[in-house]
Amino acid sequence: MTAAPLAAAGTPMVRRFRRRASPGAVGLALAAPTLCIFAGLVAIPVASVVVTSFTSWTGFDISGIGWLGIENYAGLLTDPIFLKAFANTLIFTVATTVLLNAVGLGLALLVNTRAHGTAFLKAVLFLPVLLSPVIVGLMWSGLLRGVGGGLNQLLGFLGLIHQPVFWLGDGRFALAAVIIATVWQFAGYDMILYYAGLQNVPDTLLEAAELDGARAWEKFLHVVLPALYHVMSVVALLNVIGGLRIFDIVYVMTRGGPSRSTEVLATYMYEQGFQLNAMGVASALAVVLIVLAIGASALRLRVLRHV
């Protein structure tokens, strides 16, 4: 052995023989904060709404709790307001999901042409995504107000109406107004997702289709669309889950009115829990919401497996 400059130099490394903690324990310790916070503020509340949904609790005296079994659920089934809220939630969810998917995909295709002006459109479309639904609701309330509202002014100017229409105060229009406001807010979000999906369409496939003499729409149908199935399933699921839990925008624009025409499950739950103190009923409604949301994601997984 000739010169061994490093071996000879300085202090050798101190060797300490600490017993090591088992790797499993270290892993658990690192995951523990997440697991504890999640358990405490999500898992336990989920368990507790399930339990509360079988009781008559009013939110005050614990001793006054009575066990009702499935009575709260049975009560919901004969409650016309619940049925209305359930129907509205379904209409809202289906309408926003269909519209957002169509609008989102269409806008993504437009933006993806990279024609002049599309970059600006892309940025503009994303602005509403950044807004709180409270502010979105407020904007649309302003636009749809009966007196001084922008839409009435436009329609009046065009000579289409002669009396102000109270869009949000009219049971025929209120739900549609909330749906349009929601589509306006999230169209840019879905556009971005579809746009990201379009970037992943394999060029080689398109070139192959081109060589095979495929027409533009054939390429879209047979190459582009299949490549977007995954994105489509994500967008659909997000829209469905978002639709089921819708609360803020309805609460701000209509509070569920007029005469329950925009009542949805979450607003009805809020009313039962915080205005009527019927915690048992509110919890039963919460369980319905949770079951629907989990059901939707399970359904997506099933469908994806078959694609």
Partner 1 sequence: MGSITLKGVGKVYAGNTVAVNNVDLEVKDGEFVVFVGPSGCGKSTLLRMIAGLETITSGEITIDGQVMNDVSPRDRDIAMVFQSYALYPQMTVRENIAFALELRKFSRDEIKRRVDEAARILDLSELMDRKPRQLSGGQRQRVAMGRAIVRNPAAFLLDEPLSNLDAKLRVQLRAELGRLHARLGVTTIHVTHDQVEAMTLGSRVAVFSRGTLQQYDTPHALYHAPANIFVAGFIGSPAMNFLEASVVGGGASLTLALGPTRLTVVPRSGGKELSVGDRVIVGVRPEHLDWQPAGGSGLPARVELVEHLEPESFIAVTPADRSVVIRTADDFIRGAAIDPAEEIRLEERMLAVRVPASRVPPPKTEISLVIDAARVQLFDSATGAAI
Partner 2 sequence: MSELALPAAPRKFRPALTIGSLLLSIVVLTPVLWIFSLSLKTSRETLRPGLLPTDPQPGNYVEAWNRYGLGQLFLNSAMVTVGSVIVTVMVSMSAAYAFTKIPFKGSEALFSLLLLGVVIPPSALVVPLLIEMRYLGLYDNRAGLALVYVAFGLPISTLVFRGFFATIPGELVEAARLDGCTELQILWRIIAPMAKGAIATVVILMFLANWNEFILALVLLRNAGGFTLTLGINAQLGQYTSDYHLIAAASMIAALPVFLVYLVLQRQFERGVAEGALKS
Query: Are the beta carbons of 187 and 122 closer than 8 angstroms?
Result: no
CB of 35 to partner 1, least distance (A): 23
Of 23 and 159, CB closest to partner 1: 23
Instruction: Select from 2, 11, 34, 78 the one that contacts partner 2 (CB under 8 A).
Output: 34
Of 172 and 230, CB closest to partner 2: 230
* Binding interface with partner 1 (CB under 8 A): 1-7, 9-10, 12-21, 23
CA distance 179 to 254: 12
* Residue 89: half-sphere exposure toward Cβ, Cα within 13 Å: 25
Q: In the window 156-175, what residues touch partner 2 (CB under 8 A)?
A: 156
Which residues, in sequence order, are CB contacts of 210 under 8 Å at separation 6+? 219
CA distance 41 to 49: 12
Q: In the window 73-112, what residues touch partner 2 (CB under 8 A)?
A: 107, 109-112
Choices 4-12, 42-50, 88-96, 168-176 (CB under 8 A): range interacting with partner 2: 42-50
Residue 176 binds to partner 2 (criterion: CB under 8 A): no
Of 17 and 157, CB closest to partner 1: 17
Question: In whole angstroms, what separates CA 55 from the centre of its chain?
Answer: 30
Question: Distances from the Cα of 67 to the Cαs of 96, 179, 200, in angstroms?
Answer: 38, 39, 54
Of 16 and 302, CB closest to partner 1: 16
CB of 25 to partner 1, least distance (A): 12
Interaction pattern, residues 181-220, with partner 2; x per rule: CB under 8 A: ---x--xxx--xx-xxxxx-x-x--xx--------x--xx
> Which residue in this structure is represented by tokens 């409650």?
79
In eight-state DSSP terms, residue 190 is: H
> Which amino acid, one-letter code, is at 105?
L
> Which amino acid, one-letter code, is at 28?
L
